[in-house]
Structure 1
Amino acid sequence: MTELHHIVERVRAAAADATPLCIRGGGTKDFYGEAPQGELLDTTALAGITSYEPSELVVTVRAGTPLAELEAALAEQGQCLPFEPPRFDGNGNGTVGGMVAAGLSGPARASVGAVRDYVLGATLINGRAEVVTFGGQVMKNVAGYDVSRVLAGSLGTLGVIAEVSLKVLPVAPAEATLAFACNQADALRLLNEWGGRPLPLNASCWAEDAGVGMLHLRLRGAVAAVEAACAHLGGKRHDNTRAAADWLSLRDQQRAWFSTSDGIDALWRLSVPQTAPVLALDGVAPLIEWHGGQRWYKAPADQSARIRDIARAAGGHATLFRVPGANARSQVPRFDALSAPIERIHRALMREFDPQGIFNRGRLLAAT
């Protein structure tokens, strides 16, 4: 029995008696979203790169493939996943299917796009135990509703991702990281000012260290463009090797700033317009990414109402991203409430793909 057939039969049996299944690959994102429910359905046997055409900038890979394995294969050809999916364990033991299902992107997201922008096609096992394929291996074949991209961020609630085709890009020929000492307000002002200029901006990060605010800016692109931008912007230029390690630790949330081991403060992720001003949240100064669009805060989970009110007032939303403690499960909803029309669409999609509600029940939306 092949790995795919085994999973199909497992899904068929679960659908017959409405047994909930908890889809899991590397388990590196178990903390994200609501508590996993149901019997474990391990996808790691669905591993391997099935097709890779470097000249076409397309790779097709089975969902249980470790992210580190895919990134190593791309690096050999001078290519990459430009959206820099966070790995959290720092080792790339998470899987490609989990990367798509979580829909999380790293430091470069504001400049290059999100996970969903690079998903060309997908093969899915739905709640009827049917193996269905959406999209393909080129951008132009998308017609009608782009189901393959809907999978990004669905947290496994639509089915078991078996295989995905992804667009990849060449590694930029040049890179530089500049540092600027400034407070939060000045950092946001500078980022908005630079965003209106033809600069090869790729990623940014502002945070305080010992009370001193520091903005780091990463430039990527053609050699001439990067060097011209460095000369124009000024700032302190960092050694590329050191800077690469710092950006990697930011991507994987391995920096000390992200620690929630004190048992009090949770990690909150606020998604707001890049032009939003400094938010009136007390406590530890935030860590700001995506040219102002993603802001991380540390605050107790029970401050949910206030934090979400502030995020909404700024035109965004807040996610309770991580709660301290290895097994901590807060009663506070992890995700902000959806508007009634959007929630109806979400639930209708779930019912269509998974009529018995067996996949990752309650992980994304509260079960009803």
Structure 2
Amino acid sequence: MQSIDGTDSLKEAVAKALQDSKPLWLRGGNSKSFYGNPCDADCTELDLRCHSGVIDYVPNELVLRVRAGTSLSEVLELLESEGQMLPFEPPNFGGASTIGGVIASGLSGPRRPYYGAVRDFVLGVSVLGGKGEVLSFGGQVMKNVAGYDVSRLMVGALGTLGIIMDVSLKVLPRRPEITLRVSELPDSISGLSAHARVESQHYVRVPKGTDVEGDVVDDDFWRQLAAHELPSLRAGNALWRISVPPSSTQYLDEASVVEWGGAVRWVADPEGNPHETLSAGHATLFRTNDCSERNRFQPLDAVVSRIHGNLKHGFDPQGIFNPGRMTWYAN
């Protein structure tokens, strides 16, 4: 794995953006360019893959520190060689995702309800902020945090708060597992690490040797599911991600794929706007053929919107990072 320290070149790019008052559109592998609102300003595109490579990895301590431009595929290969994994199982769209994109998008995969989300495994980050300074938060050990955990604030911010330079992650050992297709989901399954309903079929991932009847399926199914390579997630003009309480009946029948024990439902071309019809939870227009659509995230109420806006101004006072990518103000 190649190691490149691109700190100086990224600092220069930020300094020029501040001097010219011209925003930056941040990209890594460009694998999630479809996700989030489109840019609402004339931006200079900045490729972050110039800053890549593993900084520190101690397998017996289960901690990995890596630069943000590093390929997710390379990180997964490194961890697999040591029998370890990223517990939140991030999607690797087109095999082009970077670690920075993993953190910036905050997207977790099938293990999410059983192991935790991206933010739960972030120990520390370094960020190049809107004043041209590299700021470091957190560390490389799991501990109780007093005050505001800024490291986790970067998860899901889509690069709007600054350029993620490197991240320290908690990793876990990988255990032998098997994937089964079952006609009916048992009431209780010991050691369950993933469950999905695709069309009318249920898929479960359990430790090898678990007493569950079903047809054995290639474990690559879960990678395909997370990366949206299944036909059920490629149909339609607009794909919505509906996050609701698992007991909710909304969009359950319309969903082509249901994940996370019912908490996430993928719906293509629903009737009406889920932002308006959802009674609990939130909806995201995850992918659309309408590139001009600017309201892809659930609208924020006035109080939450003000908090988001204040955070944005604190980290990026001149608004040079990914303008418009997220909704900062309530409709």
Please report the TM-score for the alignment, with normalisation by the length of structure 1. 0.83
Matches within 5 A, 1:284-295: 285-295=255-265
C-alpha RMSD over aligned residues: 2.1
Question: Does the C-alpha gap of structure 1 residues 141 and 131 become closer, same or farther in structure 2, counting only changes over 3 Å?
Answer: farther
1:354, distance to aligned residue in structure 2 (A): 0.2
Q: 2:132 aligns with which of 125, 129, 133?
A: 129
* Residue among 198, 213, 226 paired with 1:251: 226
Task: Give the conservation status (yes or no) of the 8 Å contact 1:304–1:332.
Answer: no
Residue equivalent to 1:223: none
Q: Report the counterpart of residue 344 of structure 1 in structure 2.
A: 306
Report the structure, 1 or 2, having the larger helix content.
1
Do the aligned residues in 1 keep the contact of 2:125 with 2:164 (CA within 8 Å)?
yes
Q: Counterpart amino acid of 2:58? A: E
Aligned residue in 2 for 1:74: 79
What is the SS of the residue equivalent to 1:44? helix
2:163 is equivalent to residue 176 of structure 1? no
Q: Deviations over 1:53-103 (max 9, x none)?
A: 1011000000000101111111111111011110111x2x21100110000
Describe the shift of the 1:158–1:278 C-alpha distance in structure 2 as closer, same or farther (beyond 3 A): closer
For the residues of structure 2 that align with 1:108 and 1:130, how far apart are their CA atoms? 35
TM-superposed CA distance for 1:366, in Å, is 5.4
In structure 2, list runs of 5 or more residues that go unmatched.
Answer: none
- Choose which of 287, 294, 308 in structure 1 pairs with 2:275: 308
Mapped partners of 1:268, 1:235: distance in 2: 32
The answer (yes or no) to whether the contact 1:66–1:94 under 8 Å persists in 2 is yes
Task: For residues 211-261 of structure 1, give each alpha carbon's deviation from its aligned partner in whole angstroms, at most 9, with x where no partner exists.
Answer: xx11111114xxxxx53xx32xx43141xxx4212122112111111114x
Question: 2:284 aligns to what?
Answer: 319
SS for the counterpart of 1:83 is: coil
Match of 2:267 in 1: 297
What do the CA deviations read for 1:293-320 (whole angstroms, capped 9, x no partner)? 11000016xx553x22343x1x211100
Q: Is the CA contact (8 Å cut-off) linking 1:275 and 1:292 kept in structure 2? A: yes
Q: Is the 8 A contact 1:127 1:359 kept in 2?
A: yes
Counterparts of 2:59 and 2:125, CA distance in 1: 19
Match of 1:161 among 149, 164, 167: 164
- Greater Cα shift, 119-128 or 1-10: 1-10
Aligned residues: 325
Q: Which residue does the alignment assign to 2:122?
A: 119
User: What's the secondary structure of 1:139's corresponding residue?
Assistant: coil
Q: Secondary structure of 1:274's partner?
A: coil
Structure 1 residues 46 and 181, CA gap change in structure 2 (3 angstroms): same
Equivalent residue in structure 1 for 2:203, among 216, 232, 239: 216
| Residue 319 of structure 2 is aligned to residue 357 of structure 1 | yes
2:37–2:294 Cα contact (<8 Å) kept: no
- The correspondence for 2:9, drawn from 6, 11, 17, is 6
1:332 CA drift (Å): 5.2
Query: Which residue of structure 2 lines up, in the alignment, with residue 335 of structure 1?
Result: 297
* 1:143 is the counterpart of 2:146: yes
Contact 2:306 2:329 in 1 (8 A): no
Measure how far apart 1:43 and its partner are: 0.6
User: Percent of counterpart pairs with the same letter?
Assistant: 42
